[in-house]
A and B are shown apart, each in its own frame.
Chain A
Amino acid sequence: DVKVTQSSRYLVKRTGEKVFLECVQDMDHENMFWYRQDPGLGLRLIYFSYDVKMKEKGDIPEGYSVSREKKERFSLILESASTNQTSMYLCASSLNENTEAFFGQGTRLTVV
Chain B
Amino acid sequence: AQKITQTQPGMFVQEKEAVTLDCTYDTSDQSYGLFWYKQPSSGEMIFLIYQGSYDEQNATEGRYSLNFQKARKSANLVISASQLGDSAMYFCAMTLDSNYQLIWGAGTKLIIKP
Contact of A98 among B33, B42, B106 (CB under 8 A): B33
| Cα–Cα distance between A96 and B2 once the two chains are bound (Å) | 19
Assess the B100–A98 pair: CB atoms within 8 A: no
| Cα–Cα distance between A104 and B23 once the two chains are bound (Å) | 24
Q: State whether the Cβ of B62 lies closer than 8 Å to any Cβ in chain A.
A: no
Set of chain B residues within 8 Å of A41, measured between Cβ atoms: 106
Closest to A90 in B: B45
Q: State whether the Cβ of A79 lies closer than 8 Å to any Cβ in chain B.
A: no
Query: Which has the most chain B C-beta neighbours within 10 Å: A43, A90, A102?
Result: A43
Set of chain B residues within 8 Å of A102, measured between Cβ atoms: 47
Number of A-B contacts (CB under 8 A): 56
Q: How many residues of A contact B (CB 8 A)?
A: 26
Q: How far is the CB of B59 from chain A (nearest CB, A)?
A: 12
Assess the A50–B91 pair: CB atoms within 8 A: no
| Cα–Cα distance between A92 and B106 once the two chains are bound (Å) | 18
Q: State whether the Cβ of A74 lies closer than 8 Å to any Cβ in chain B.
A: no
| CB-based closest 9 A-B pairs | A103-B45, A100-B47, A42-B106, A106-B43, A43-B104, A97-B95, A42-B104, A105-B44, A50-B100
Give the interface of A toward B (CB within 8 A): 31, 33, 40-45, 48, 50, 56, 58, 88, 90, 92, 97-106, 108
User: Can you list 23 A-B pairs with a CB-CB distance of less than 8 A?
Assistant: A33-B101, A42-B91, A42-B104, A43-B102, A44-B104, A45-B102, A88-B43, A92-B102, A97-B95, A97-B97, A97-B99, A98-B97, A99-B50, A100-B50, A101-B35, A101-B45, A101-B47, A101-B102, A103-B37, A103-B45, A105-B44, A106-B43, A108-B43
